[in-house]
């Protein structure tokens, strides 16, 4: 028996999100050795995903959620299927392939090692994952927390992004038949997203249907993670969407009364800390068992930080900040000094606009500081931190925790205008340690 909790596996989701970071490092690196290093890692990842797809004994097809570290299938009882995995894996590999081609990489290599599952089933997983998404997105699946089988907002959004990117990518690969199969699903999946909006609660619910596991708030960080991993850059459920803002303020504040450490609002130097954020307020998983009290997680707190930075960046870029009756509560909580009012649109020359952007940057830093404050001095990030003491809890060195901190740091650099240096490039050029 290994260490508790038993986490010595590779989850399709965690791996794809981690390789999304490697993809960003690949795209940002300007030095050849670093770039080749990341490139090698991602081609190896593509190979691993292809092998997962052809493992004998997949119980629920490509939605099989976890494997042993030697890539053989985990056959014990588990929440299956988890149909977000094929989508996030395809997204990561398509984004990498596009960056690789833009760097002068060969189309044939991409076809053989990434895209064409018909010709190369043991090395190219993307076509197969995309077709799986196109024909399975309407089916219920276990959500990212592996607890509830339902129709999940997170899944729908990442599946949509996979189809949007996938249709364009298939065309690029000269495969118009697959491109049209993927495209044919996009408008239906887009229309289905609005089913998750609850106008009375003013939140995007994480799933629709009966209340499971006492989740009466219907609030869940999975919604914000969905926006982060599933926004296809085409205006559909953008981070700046009024519904996203309304959901974010309700979600973040829902943890204030739940976690005693939320009462610590400053670090030792008197700087503001953000709210510790967990999966959902009713969570009972304490990192080892589901019979305890849930805790804040590093990755969900980092996601709040990332959302704040992304908003600062996107509203500044647009030069316009419209406030509606749906988004007003977000602004009055997170930017009270700007005194923004529903029905008004603020422009980049308005003092209130500048105050609001500075508030977003400030909250981004406050949430990052919370992650830092509860990181032990050795710098290791586990899965969660204790709701009452702040001590690390659950799986040690959870890869996804590190990945989420890196993506938040990249969003920060962008929101702060990189201050004359390209942060992503500097980090990427460090290459292998």
Residues near ligand NOJ, by CB under 6 A:
11, 13-14, 144-146, 398, 400
- In the bound state with ligand NOJ, the residue whose beta carbon lies nearer, of 42 and 398, is 398
| End-to-end Cα, the chain, rounded Å | 31
Exposure letters 108-136 (e unless 16+ CB within 10 A, then b): eebbebbbbbeebeebbbbbbbbbbbbeb
- In the bound state with ligand NOJ, the residue whose beta carbon lies nearer, of 308 and 398, is 398
Q: How far is Cα 417 from Cα 130, in angstroms, rounded to an integer?
A: 35
Q: How far is Cα 247 from Cα 50, in angstroms, rounded to an integer?
A: 36
User: Burial, 340: exposed, middle or buried (Cβ in 10 Å; 0-12, 13-18, 19+)?
Assistant: buried
Residue pair 371/302 in contact by the 8 Å Cβ criterion: yes
Q: How far is Cα 166 from Cα 126, in angstroms, rounded to an integer?
A: 8
Q: Which two tokens stand for residue 416?
A: 């702060």
- In the bound state with ligand NOJ, the residue whose beta carbon lies nearer, of 13 and 250, is 13
CB of 43 to ligand NOJ, least distance (A): 24
What's the Rg (C-alpha) of the chain?
21
- In the bound state with ligand NOJ, the residue whose beta carbon lies nearer, of 13 and 243, is 13
CB of 399 to ligand NOJ, least distance (A): 8
CB of 194 to ligand NOJ, least distance (A): 25
CB of 22 to ligand NOJ, least distance (A): 17
Q: How far is Cα 151 from Cα 154, in angstroms, rounded to an integer?
A: 9
- In the bound state with ligand NOJ, the residue whose beta carbon lies nearer, of 145 and 330, is 145
- In the bound state with ligand NOJ, the residue whose beta carbon lies nearer, of 178 and 228, is 228
CB of 72 to ligand NOJ, least distance (A): 18
CB of 10 to ligand NOJ, least distance (A): 9
In this structure, what are the phi and psi dihedrals at residue 378, rounded to the nearest 5 degrees? -80, -5
């Amino acid at each position: 028996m290994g260490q508790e909790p038993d986490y010595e596996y590779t989850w399709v989701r965690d791996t794809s999100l981690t390789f999304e970071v490697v993809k960003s490092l690949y795209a940002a690196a300007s030095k050849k050795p670093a770039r080749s290093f990341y490139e090698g890692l991602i081609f190896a990842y593509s190979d691993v995903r292809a092998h997962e797809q052809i493992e004998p004994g997949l119980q629920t097809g490509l939605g099989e959620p976890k494997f042993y570290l030697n890539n053989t299938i985990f056959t014990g009882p588990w929440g299956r299927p988890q149909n977000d995995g094929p989508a996030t894996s395809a997204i990561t590999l398509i984004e990498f392939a596009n960056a690789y081609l833009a760097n002068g990489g060969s189309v044939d290599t991409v076809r053989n090692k990434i895209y064409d599952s018909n010709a190369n089933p043991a090395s190219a997983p993307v076509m197969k994952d995309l077709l799986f998404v196109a024909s399975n997105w309407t089916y219920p699946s276990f959500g990212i927390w592996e607890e509830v089988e339902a129709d999940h907002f997170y899944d729908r959004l990442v599946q949509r992004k996979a189809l949007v990117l996938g249709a364009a990518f298939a065309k690029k690969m000269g495969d118009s038949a697959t491109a049209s199969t993927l495209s044919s699903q996009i408008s239906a999946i887009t229309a289905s997203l609005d089913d998750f909006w609850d106008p009375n609660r003013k939140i995007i619910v994480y799933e629709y249907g009966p209340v499971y596991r006492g989740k009466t708030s219907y609030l869940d960080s999975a919604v914000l993670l969905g926006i982060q991993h599933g926004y296809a850059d085409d205006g559909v459920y953008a981070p700046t969407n009024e519904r996203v803002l309304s959901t974010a303020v309700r979600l973040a504040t829902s943890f204030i009364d739940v976690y005693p450490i939320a009462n610590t609002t400053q670090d030792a130097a008197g700087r503001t800390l953000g709210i510790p954020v967990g999966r959902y307020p009713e969570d009972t998983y304490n990192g080892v068992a589901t019979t305890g009290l849930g805790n804040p997680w590093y990755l969900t707190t980092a996601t709040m930080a990332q959302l704040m930075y992304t908003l600062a960046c996107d509203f500044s870029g647009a030069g316009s900040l419209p406030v509606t009756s749906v988004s007003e509560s977000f602004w009055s909580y997170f930017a009270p000094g700007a005194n923004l009012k529903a029905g008004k649109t603020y422009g980049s020359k308005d003092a209130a606009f500048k105050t609001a952007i500075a508030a977003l940057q400030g909250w981004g830093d406050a949430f990052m500081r919370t992650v830092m404050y509860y990181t032990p001095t050795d710098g290791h990030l586990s899965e969660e931190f204790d709701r009452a003491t702040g001590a690390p809890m659950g799986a040690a060195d959870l890869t996804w925790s590190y990945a989420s901190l890196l993506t938040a740091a990249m969003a920060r650099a962008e929101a702060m205008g990189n201050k004359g240096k390209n942060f992503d490039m500097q980090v990427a050029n460090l290459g292998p340690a």
